[in-house]
Amino acid sequence: MAGEDRVLANGAKFIDFQTDPSRYRHWKLDVAGDVATLSMDVDEDGGLFEGYQLKLNSYDLGVDIELADAVQRLRFEHPDVKVVVLRSAKNRVFCAGANIRMLAGATHAHKVNFCKFTNETRNGMEDSSENSGQRYITVVNGTAAGGGYELALATDHIILADDGSSSVALPEVPLLAVLPGTGGLTRVVDKRKVRRDHADFFCTIEEGIKGKRAAQWRLVDELAPNSKLEARISERAKQFAETSARKTDGKGVALTPLKRTVDDKSLRYGFVTVDIDRTARIATVSVQAPDKAPPSDIDGMIAQGASFWPLQVAREIDDAILHLRINELEIALLVFKSHGDPAQVLAYDAFLDANKSHWLVNEIRHYWKRVLKRIDVTSRTLVTLVEPGSCFVGTLAELVFAADRSYMLIGSREGDNRPPPALQLTALNFGPYPMSHGLTRLESRFQADPSDVERARGRIGEALDAEQAEELGLVTFALDDIDWDDEIRVFLEERASFSPDSLTGMEANLRFVGPETMESKIFARLTAWQNWIFQRPNAVGEEGALRRYGSGQKPKFDMTRV
């Protein structure tokens, strides 16, 4: 089980997002040639918290931490795998979804962060299929209800056992007075193209749909009788492997444990440091440039393994953001800083761009994309300070463009012998790291006049000082040494004083401008509604559906439509 026997400064349990297959309690990973099998076998007594059992392959955050780890390891450690078969190791049940007792007893913040993480994991599976050539097949041999069916929906192909009892269901509305929390509504109609009236029926019945109707309504891809199920799985896996775009050579890269020190005031990794000021409600995330040049060739990169700077830093930032989300709930602002030689960061960017066709470089670039997306959807005010000695260039400049506010110092500070700050753009700022709605952060920024993107593209390779960066629209404000301290202090104090609820709503509305995609709908529309519904008495009140589920008492609803 992910998580350490540790208590935080606020008395809550420390939840750790680091794990590995040797510590899995809920999943079994088996790799045979180009096919991997992920078997769900949830330990009933392996929940993150007391007060519930994970029966019928129901899951909590700990189960999904292991799943996310497995999906990530398949991409990096198993380059030969082209197909992943997702199935249950238990008889007559695939997955009963998120554990209801866990949801009923969890804090509002934990429920919302749980749903956000499960969404990111399932989006990661779809990203693996699209961009890594590792396609996913789900075998539903039993009941796939709620989050269990949502897990299946995130895969490319669903095989349903045609045995008279196996079924798929999204019963959250009639049973629990909440919505499917992991993209179920959106994927049913946007991904599987289920008719709206059929989807309406499906999402308002408790018992689910099986057999021929499930296939006719596009809820699953095909049926197979139990006598032919294993043969059908092998047939589909072979077919998908033959058409996979995954082209790899050599061995994978072991995702060795991150070296990390955690105490009440900080997290310290190899290249990333997080300093926590609980009084000010600020976490400062500092990223250090590499201390040596990139390897001369691909062999050198593979030899470095998980210590290859772009991969190590991405993993460290990812772990830090997840820690701050779930373990530091009262932090209002994440302040990003950087330091080190920008030329070294640019050299690694050039290496990634020159070798983008290599499978491992492809994985690292897409991992950076996912880490930046995780930052985009984190419910904290994001601030970037571009100061003397910083290295916000290329990939790291995305932390400037992801921020709700960015401040850049004009020139140097008195008594500071570090070089004045400069921003520098590379090719990686113009495509490889799109946001959830499909636009790059610069495209999203310059909605009023797309030619501003081209104007910025024309400055690739230039070291831009604060006034040039402000004129190009790359930072919010350029400030001189006289104003810097006061302006930053007033902003941080003011921001920390606002209602966190209104800030979450405001920031989420402002960050994702322009078009919608299935992914942005899941994070924006669904998350907003679920966030609200999880606070309504009809769901979580003493007489609400979540509290009364399984008690034999019917919930009592306030029937007012609002």
Q: Are residues 397 and 470 in the same domain?
A: yes
For 370-398, b where at least 16 C-beta lie within 10 A, e where not — what string? Answer: bbbbbbbbbbbbbbbbbbbbbbbbbbbbb
Read off the pLDDT band of 10 (50, 70, 90): low
pLDDT in tens, 326-382: 999 999 999 999 999 999 999 999 999 999 999 999 999 999 999 999 999 999 999
Determine, yes or no, domain membership for 561: no
- Which residues form the domain of 299? 261-503
Residue 521 forms part of a structural domain:
no
- Is the predicted pLDDT of residue 523 greater than 60, yes or no? yes
Mapped onto helix, strand or coil, the DSSP state of residue 51 is coil
Q: Which residues of 186-200 are buried (b: 16+ CB within 10 A; e: fewer)?
A: bbbbbeeebeeebbe
Q: What is the residue-wise DSSP string for 506-532?
A: HHHHHHS-S---HHHHIIIIIHHHHHH
314 pLDDT band, cuts 50/70/90, is: very high
Given this model, what pLDDT does residue 415 score?
87
Residues 6+ apart with CB under 8 A from 315: 255, 258, 306, 367
Is there a single domain that holds both residue 131 and residue 218?
Answer: yes
Q: Rounded to a whole number, what is the distance in angstroms from the first to the last CA of the chain?
A: 41
Map 389-421 to HEC letters: CCCCEHHHHHHHHCCCEEEEECCCCCCCCCCCC
| Co-location of 354 and 479 in the same domain | yes
Report the 10 Å Cβ neighbour count for 74: 22
Instruction: Summarize pLDDT for 70-83 with one digit per residue, the tens.
Output: 999 999 999 999 99
Look at residue 329 and tell me if it is in a domain: yes
Q: What is the pLDDT of residue 5?
A: 60
**In this structure, what CATH number is given to the domain that contains residue 214?**
3.90.226.10
Quickly state the pLDDT bin for 9 (edges 50, 70, 90): low
CA distance 463 to 350: 16
- Checking if the pLDDT of 247 tops 70, the result is yes
Identify whether 216 is part of a domain: yes
Residue 531: pLDDT band by 50, 70, 90 thresholds? confident
Average pLDDT (379-395) is 98
Q: Do 186 and 47 share a structural domain?
A: yes
| Whether 307 and 402 share a structural domain | yes
pLDDT score, position 411 = 96
Q: Look at residue 1 in the predicted model and tell me its pLDDT.
A: 39
Pair (308, 178) in one structural domain: no
- Same-domain check for residues 211 and 339: no
Q: What is the pLDDT of residues 250-297, one digit of tens each?
A: 789 999 999 999 999 999 999 999 999 999 999 999 999 999 999 999
Out of 243, 269, 289, pick the residue that ends a domain: 243
Give the chain's domain count.
Answer: 2
Q: Quote the CA–CA distance of 329 and 13 in Å, as a whole number.
A: 12
On whether the CB atoms of residues 159 and 236 are closer than 8 A, the answer is yes
Please indicate, yes or no, whether residues 102 and 199 belong to a single structural domain of this protein.
yes
Q: What distance in Å separates the CA atoms of residue 528 and residue 505, rounded to the nearest whole number? A: 8
Q: Is the pLDDT of residue 448 over 90?
A: yes
* Whether 231 and 95 share a structural domain: yes
User: Do both 206 and 321 map to the same domain?
Assistant: no
Q: Is 277 helix (H, G, I), strand (E, B) or coil?
A: strand
Task: Detail the DSSP E strand segments found in 42-151.
Answer: 58-59, 83-88, 93-95, 97-98, 135-140, 143-145
Tokens standing for residue 311: 């991969």
Residue 2 scores a pLDDT above 70? no
Q: How many CA atoms lie within 13 A of 129 on its CB side?
A: 17
Whether residue 130 is contained in a domain is answered as: yes
Residue 93 lies in a domain: yes
pLDDT grade for 12, boundaries at 50, 70 and 90: confident
pLDDT digits (tens, 9 = 90+) for 415-443: 899 999 999 999 999 999 999 999 999 99
Distance CA(146)–CA(132), nearest Å, equals: 27
Is the confidence at residue 113, as pLDDT, over 70?
yes
